[in-house]
Amino acid sequence: MITNLNEEEVRGLLTEERVGRLGCIVSGEPYVVPVNYLYDGESILIHSLPGQKIIALRLNSNACLQVDRIESDFAWKSVIAFGTYEEINNAAERSRALDQLFKRFPQLTPVETLIAEDASAPAPIVFRIKVNRVTGISQSFW
Amino acid sequence: MITNLNEEEVRGLLTEERVGRLGCIVSGEPYVVPVNYLYDGESILIHSLPGQKIIALRLNSNACLQVDRIESDFAWKSVIAFGTYEEINNAAERSRALDQLFKRFPQLTPVETLIAEDASAPAPIVFRIKVNRVTGISQSFW
């Protein structure tokens, strides 16, 4: 049975999970990458090295984050949060966002550790997807 | 360390995995859904109930499938296959594609079982993403 999730269920899944797939548009084509994220109830916080998705999102700020919990081919939930890309450049706000992210993802990746040790490495980008609507469906046996 | 995967590694991961995230564009916005898929070396085969993604892909055939294998926040691979949506409507071809899909996904979902039992239910759509290029990256400790 496939059912729609209500908004509370969708926001619950967004809050609980920590890996999502970020969708954006690159040169008119869809582009999807896995990301660690944090949902604070209004926005999705993400940090990233500069690259293709950042270049694309600066040009076209329409973005979505798809998050799922898949137990089997026939028992899963999937939600999508749609919104717009906003880079967090204000120093205080950026530091607050990074604090939140590092609390949730305490183990810095080797790349990030390298960045901390190497001032010449590119600074990670911190951004939010300001969520303007969410949808979700669930499939189950029952 | 983040490295690019070569084409053979990308195609290997596409062949081995069975769940991917299909990206398409709906009304100018990115849209991402999890799908079961089968990669035959040239195309990605998918079957689906009629719905939002099918309507969208008929209007804009640009699509991608993102597939990953995530062991931890700092040990993962992710690939993207870019291509175009082609609906498989020819009866013989459709039957061949469904055979391949059901061999890989032998347990029909309850929805599909229901469809088999209820001729009034909408027929599933069978389609391929004809792959025109692939990319992939990997992050590891080593």
Whether A111 sits inside 8 A of B80 (CB atoms) is no
Maximum separation of any 2 CA atoms in chain A, in Å: 55
What is d(CA A23, CA A56) in angstroms, rounded to the nearest whole number? 11
Whether B64 sits inside 8 A of A109 (CB atoms) is no
A31 vs B52, higher pLDDT: A31
Amino acid type, A78: S
Q: Which domains does chain B have, with CATH numbers?
A: 2-139 (2.30.110.10)
Per the DSSP assignment, residues forming a β-bridge with B129 are: B44, B85
Give me the sign of the Cα torsion angle A47, A53, A55, A58. negative
Among B19, B30, B74, whose Cβ lies nearest the Cβ of A64?
Answer: B30
Q: Tens digit of pLDDT for each residue in B108-118? A: 544 454 455 55
Whether B109 sits inside 8 A of A63 (CB atoms) is no
Maximum separation of any 2 CA atoms in chain B, in Å: 55
Q: What is the pLDDT along chain A (142 residues), one digit of tens a residue?
A: 789 999 999 999 999 999 999 999 999 999 999 999 999 999 999 998 888 899 999 999 999 999 999 888 778 999 999 999 999 999 999 999 999 998 998 875 444 544 555 566 677 899 999 999 999 999 886 5
What is d(CA B58, CA B106) in angstroms, rounded to the nearest whole number? 28
What ipTM goes with this model?
0.89
Which residues in A61-79 are b (16+ Cβ under 10 Å) and which e?
A: bbbbbbbbeeeeebebbbb
Among A24, A30, A105, whose Cβ lies nearest the Cβ of B62?
Answer: A30
Whether A34 sits inside 8 A of B2 (CB atoms) is no
Where does the pLDDT of residue B73 fall: very low under 50, low under 70, confident under 90, or very high at 90 and above? confident
**pLDDT confidence of residue A121:** 62
**pLDDT confidence of residue A139:** 86
